[in-house]
Structure 1
Amino acid sequence: MEAATASSLGRSGAGLRSVPGLARSSSSSLTLRDARRRSLTPPHLPWPASRLVRTSGAGSLSVVAAAANPHNHQQQQLGVEGMGVAMEPERGSPGEVREEIARCYELVRRLGRGAVYLGSSRVPPTHPHYHQTAELARETSKLLDCTTWTGAGPGLMDAAIQGALQAEKPVGGFKIGKEAGEWTASNFHPYLPPESYLTCRFFSARKHGLVDAVVRNSSTDKTAIVALPGGIGTLDEVFEIMALIQLERIGSALPVPFLLMNYDSYYSKLLEFLNDSTEWGTVAPGEVASLWKVCNGNHEALEYLAQFYNVPAGQRNYHTSPPSKEHVTSYNVS
C-alpha cells in the first residue's frame, strides 16, 4: 500500500481555482446543460496504442477496442483467433508510475482539494441512490466551497459530478480506461473538459490522486471522503483509506472527515461484520467508529460536515429531500 505524502504537493493561490470551462457565470463558464452538449476533441492517448498486453490461448477471444471516431465512445467487439489482446498497459519501468503520480498531484494542485466521492459505477441515473448522491455532492460543494473529485466514471461517480455542476463548483477526476459496469476501452469522458480530469494507466496512481485530493495542511482546507454504495472497487478504496487514516499515513497534517453513506442500510451487513471482528479480537473496540462517520441520509452527513468545520448555523443553507420510503434491494443492472 502506498501513502500519499503532503510534502510533495501544495496548493497554488489563496483560493480554489475553478475548472476552466466549468465554473460560475463568466463568458467562459460551462453550465450543466452545456457540459452535456459539449463535444470534445480527445487529447492524446495516455499510452502508445502499440503497447498492448497479449494473452495466449486457443479459440476465439474478444478484444475491446476504441472506435475509430474519437467522438464515438461505444465499444467494439472484435474476434481474434488464437490470442487475446487486452487494452492494459505494460509496466515498463517504475519511473512511468512515478510520472503518472506526479501528473495526478499536479492536477490536484491546479484544481484545488475538496470532497472525494467513492461509489459504484453500475448505478443507473433512475436509481434513488443516484439522485441522493447528486444532491449530496451539490450541497456539500456549496457548504465547503470546494472542488468535487471522483473517479470520473459512470454511476454514482457521475451523479457526484452532476451535483457539483448544478452548484457551479469545480470538478476534477481521475479516470481509468476500464470501469466495472461499462468495460470500455474509451479513455475520454463524454462531457467534462479534458483539462479537468486525467486518464490513468495505473490504479496506484489513481489512488494517489484521490488520496491527495483530501489532504489538509491548513485550517482553511475543507475536504472530505464520502463512501457511497459500491462494489469491489469501492470497498478496495474505502478500506485502503481507512488503513491510511488508522496508521496516520494519509499525509494530512489535520484530520479529514470520512463519511460512510449507508443509504437504505446498504452497508449494515458490513458494519455487523466489523462488529463481529471486534468480538474475535481482530479489530480493537471502538477502532472502526473512530475512523469514519456512518450516515443514513444526506441531512445527517451535511450536519456532520458543518459541525466538523464549525460552519455557522446561518450558513447551513443546504436543501435536502426526505429519504425515499421505497426500500431498494437491487440496482437492476444486467
Structure 2
Amino acid sequence: MTPNEDRKIREKFKQKTWNEVKTNDAWAIFKIMAEFVEGFERLSKIGPCVSVFGSARTKPGEKYYKLAENIAFELTQNGYGVVTGGGPGIMEAGNRGAARGKGISVGLNIDLPFEQHDNPYIDPDKSLDFDYFFVRKVMFVKYSQGFVVMPGGFGTLDELFEAITLIQTRKIGKFPIVLVGRKFWGGLMDWIKNTLLEAGTISPKDLDLISLVDNEEEVLDVINTFYKKYSLSPNF
C-alpha cells in the first residue's frame, strides 16, 4: 500500500462524533437507493448472463487469466452475456473474452482504496460503479443465470458463498455454480465434505449445487445442460 492510499484510509476512518455518524447514516440511505435504482434500470435489459468471479491479482498471460478469457468467449458464442466485477485480473479476462466474442460485457465496479479500477473491455453502457458491496452483490445474483468461479481470494469466496447460500435457501433460482480449477478448489471441497457434511451443518443435496471443472468445455457443458433441463434459452 502506498503512503497516499494509507492516508486516504486514515482520513476515511478518522474519529467522528455520534451525531456526525447518525447524520451520515441518514443521508447514506439516499445514496444506497440511488445505486439500487440505477442498477435495476440498467441491468434489467441485459438478458441472460453468467457472472465470472475471480482474483483481481491474476496477471494477463497467466493460466487462469487465459482460461477465464476463453470461458467468457465461449459463453458469448453460446448466447450468454458475461458479468464481472469490472476490475483487473480475472474480471478483466472475463470482460475481454466477452468483448472478443462480441457479446454482452457487463462490469460492476466497486470503489476501493487499492487494486480496483475499471477495465477497458466493458460495454460503455454496461459499466456501473458502486460504493456499497451489498448493493453490488444484489446485482450479481439478481441478473445472473449462472456463476463461474475462478481462483481468487476472500472477495471471491464471499461471492461464492453468497450465491450458494441464496440458492440453498431458495431466495434465488437454482442456477449452476461452477468452480474452475480442481487443484485450486479441491481442498475447499474436501473440507466442505469432510467437515461441514460430517458435522451435519449442511445436507448431502447441498453438494449438488456445485460443479468442479478444469476447462471451458466442462463449464459450457454444465451451463448448457442446466438450460436444456429447464427448457430455457439464452440470448439467441
Place the TM-score, normalised by the shorter chain, in its bin.
0.7 to 0.9
Q: How far apart are the structure 2 equivalents of 1:230 and 1:108? A: 25
Q: How far apart are the structure 2 equivalents of 1:149 and 1:179? A: 22
Counterpart position of 1:279: 198
Q: How far apart are the structure 2 equivalents of 1:161 and 1:198? A: 13
Counterpart position of 2:21: none
User: Within the alignment, does 1:114 sit opposite 2:49 as a pair?
Assistant: yes
Counterparts of 1:178-189 in structure 2 under 5 Å? 178=112, 182=115, 188-189=118-119
Counterpart position of 1:127: 62
Asked whether the 8 Å contact 2:83–2:107 carries over to 1, the reply is: yes
Asked whether the 8 Å contact 1:115–1:141 carries over to 2, the reply is: no
SS of corresponding position for 2:59: coil
Distance 1:291 1:264, change over 3 A: closer
Asked whether the 8 Å contact 2:148–2:178 carries over to 1, the reply is: yes
Larger helix fraction of residues? 2
Q: How far apart are the structure 2 equivalents of 1:193 and 1:141? A: 14
Structure 1 spans left out of the alignment, 5+ residues = 1-60, 65-76, 215-222, 312-334
| TM-score of the pair, normalised by structure 1 | 0.59
Larger Rg: 1
Q: CA RMSD in A?
A: 2.5
1:99 Cα deviation after fit:
2.1
Q: Name the % identity.
A: 26
Q: How far apart are the structure 2 equivalents of 1:247 and 1:191? A: 34
Distance 1:173 1:189, change over 3 A: same
* 1:102-128 deviation per Cα after TM superposition (whole angstroms, max 9, x unaligned): 211112113333111111101001211
Distance 1:179 1:146, change over 3 A: farther
Counterpart position of 2:234: none
Counterparts of 1:78-227 in structure 2 under 5 Å? 84-86=10-12, 91=25, 92-143=27-78, 145-178=79-112, 182=115, 188-190=118-120, 192=122, 194-214=124-144, 223-227=145-149
Distance 1:97 1:296, change over 3 A: same
The one-letter code matched in structure 1 to 2:187 is K
* 1:53-79 deviation per Cα after TM superposition (whole angstroms, max 9, x unaligned): xxxxxxxx9333xxxxxxxxxxxx8x6
User: Within the alignment, does 1:302 sit opposite 2:228 as a pair?
Assistant: no
2:153 counterpart (211, 223, 231): 231
Q: How far apart are the structure 1 equivalents of 2:130 and 2:157? A: 19
* 1:183-241 deviation per Cα after TM superposition (whole angstroms, max 9, x unaligned): 6xx5x544545422111011111101111112xxxxxxxx3111111100000011011
Counterpart position of 1:62: 3
The one-letter code matched in structure 2 to 1:195 is D
Runs of 4 or more above 6 Å deviation: none
Asked whether the 8 Å contact 2:107–2:122 carries over to 1, the reply is: no
Counterpart position of 2:183: 265
Q: How far apart are the structure 2 equivalents of 1:142 and 1:179? A: 36
Q: How far apart are the structure 1 equivalents of 2:123 and 2:209? A: 35
Distance 1:110 1:291, change over 3 A: same
Q: How far apart are the structure 2 equivalents of 1:191 and 1:158? A: 7
The aligned length equals 216
Counterpart position of 2:211: 293
Asked whether the 8 Å contact 1:107–1:197 carries over to 2, the reply is: no
Distance 1:167 1:140, change over 3 A: same
Q: How far apart are the structure 2 equivalents of 1:189 and 1:227? A: 19
